[in-house]
């Protein structure tokens, strides 16, 4: 009994010590979790990469600003643009010169308010007040001097990454501009092709998702083949706080973006941009060239024109190995393609991303072809002339 009485206090002390040790471990673990969640992790911890609008409460592993972007927007502080979309035919004419030259380009980063659809407004970030930005056209071998100005009332720094540029950041390393600033980039357009350009300041995905993108064509030295019409189409995604069709002013939703759940997938900046007054126009017998880009930031486009077959496709806009007789072509996020085809029959031809649920999110447009019908090519009856017998022979 004496042995038990002598050792009992030691047993109690050991139990107390173990309990205190477990409490300390819990406190340390809680402190570690708090540190990880409050301080965003990134490949670069340089202070200047983190925007005042970025969150510090969730983890992030990218080199730029945190994706969890939050800011208060008063629409009255920004210019209201009646139509954010750039017309599909708003494109410089083909270059007819054999010599290289220095080409000067001026772009302005401007944040504006405009409508995604009737009654649904949004705070767009743009190049030159449209989505997409201007179609840039230069020749292989040209020296391009690009001046970028950021409007004084911008809420963010902006910049430009052109996929046609060989050099750090595609130009972004020397074009980051704070509100009210100007910077100039000079580069040699050394490789022919069709390339995406976009803002890459802060969190690049956020700037692209809000509308800062466009295309630059570097024509080959021999030029492109002659066509009757060229059109400029860019697919983009909009991530709004409100669900699809929710009326009123819609803020950007960074959490939908990081989970790749756009509410709207559109051609040329908004729903309905390429229908009615904005539709593409051609005549029977015309040869058409489409310059099509995909800004992303998440989805691959399965681009298709209903009722047409592309005579020639330059996959991913590489001019060296064109494909013939293509029905649908893939355009990756941050990529582009060129398609050429002759229109042979009048009517409306629908441009789509053939991931067809995206039509209901806005990804469609119209190519209207006028002219004389060729019944040897296509002939049929409309619904009023259908036979009364509902049992149709499918063989």
- The average pLDDT across 158-183 equals 97
**Sheet-wide strand order for 323-326:** 264-267, 229-238, 287-296, 335-342, 310-314, 323-326
- Record the pTM: 0.82
Question: How far is 197 from 192, CA to CA, in rounded Å?
Answer: 15
| Residue 384 Cα distances to 90, 169, 380, 390, angstroms | 39, 59, 11, 13
Q: What is the mean pLDDT of residues 78-92?
A: 97
CA dist., res. 340 & res. 388, Å (int):
41
Rounded distance between C-alpha atoms, residue 284 and residue 287, angstroms = 9
Question: Can you identify the CATH homologous superfamily of domain 88-228?
Answer: Cupredoxins -  blue copper proteins (2.60.40.420)
Q: Is the peptide bond before 132 cis (omega within 30 degrees of 0)?
A: yes
pLDDT of residue 133: 98
Q: What is the largest CA-CA distance in the chain?
A: 116
Q: Are strands 102-117 and 79-80 parallel, antiparallel or unpaired?
A: parallel
What pLDDT is attached to residue 392? 44
pLDDT level of residue 39 (50, 70, 90 thresholds): very low
Secondary structure of 257-270 in HEC code, one letter for each residue: HHCCCCCEEEECCE
Section 338-363 average pLDDT:
98
The pair phi, psi for residue 287, each rounded to 5°, is: -100, 130
SS3 194: strand
Under DSSP, is residue 381 helix (H, G, I), strand (E, B) or coil?
A: coil
* CATH 2.60.40.420-classified regions of the chain: 88-228, 234-370
Task: Please name the CATH architecture into which domain 234-370 falls.
Answer: Sandwich (2.60)
* pLDDT value, residue 139: 98
Percent share of the chain, pLDDT over 70:
79
3-class DSSP assignment, residue 360: helix
Phi/psi at 242 (5° precision):
-75, 155
Percent share of the chain, pLDDT over 90 = 77
What's the helix, strand, coil split of the chain in %, to 5?
20, 35, 45
Q: What pLDDT is recorded for position 381?
A: 75
Question: pLDDT tens-digit profile of 51-62?
Answer: 555 555 667 677
pLDDT at 36: 35
């Amino acid at each position: 009994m004496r042995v038990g009485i002598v050792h009992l206090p030691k047993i109690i002390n050991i139990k107390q010590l173990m309990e205190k040790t477990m409490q300390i471990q819990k406190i340390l673990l809680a402190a570690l979790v708090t540190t990880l969640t409050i301080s965003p992790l990134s490949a670069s911890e340089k202070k200047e990469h983190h925007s005042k609008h970025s969150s510090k409460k969730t983890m992030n592993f990218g080199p730029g600003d945190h994706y969890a972007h939050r800011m208060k927007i008063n629409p009255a502080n920004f210019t209201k643009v009646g139509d954010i979309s750039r017309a599909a035919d708003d494109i410089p004419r083909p270059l007819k010169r054999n010599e290289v030259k220095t080409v000067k380009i001026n772009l302005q980063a401007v944040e504006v308010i405009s409508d995604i659809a009737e009654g649904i407004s949004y705070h767009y970030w743009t190049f030159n007040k449209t989505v997409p930005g201007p179609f840039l056209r230069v020749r292989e071998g040209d020296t391009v001097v690009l001046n970028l100005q950021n409007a004084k009332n911008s809420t963010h720094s902006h910049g430009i990454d052109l996929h046609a540029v060989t050099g750090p950041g595609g130009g972004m390393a020397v074009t980051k501009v704070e509100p009210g600033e100007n910077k100039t980039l000079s580069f040699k357009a050394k490789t022919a092709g069709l390339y995406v350009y976009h803002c890459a300041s802060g969190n690049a995905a956020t700037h692209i998702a809000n509308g800062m993108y466009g295309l630059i064509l570097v024509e080959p030295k021999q030029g492109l083949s002659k066509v009757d019409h060229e059109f400029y189409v860019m697919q983009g995604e909009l991530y709004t706080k409100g669900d699809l069709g929710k009326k009123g002013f819609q803020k950007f939703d960074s959490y939908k973006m990081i989970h790749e759940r756009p509410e709207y997938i559109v051609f040329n900046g908004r729903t309905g941009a390429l229908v009615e007054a904005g539709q593409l126009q051609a005549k029977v017998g015309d040869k058409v060239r489409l310059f099509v880009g995909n800004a992303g930031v998440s989805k691959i486009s399965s681009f298709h024109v209903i009722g047409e077959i592309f005579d020639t496709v330059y996959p991913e806009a590489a001019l060296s190995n064109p494909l013939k007789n293509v029905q649908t072509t893939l355009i990756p996020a941050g990529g582009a393609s060129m398609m050429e085809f002759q229109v042979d029959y009048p009517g409306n031809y629908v441009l789509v991303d053939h991931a067809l649920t995206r039509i209901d999110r806005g990804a469609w447009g119209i190519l209207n072809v006028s002219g004389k019908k060729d019944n040897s090519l296509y002939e049929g009856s409309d619904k009023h002339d259908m036979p009364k017998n509902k049992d149709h022979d499918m063989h």
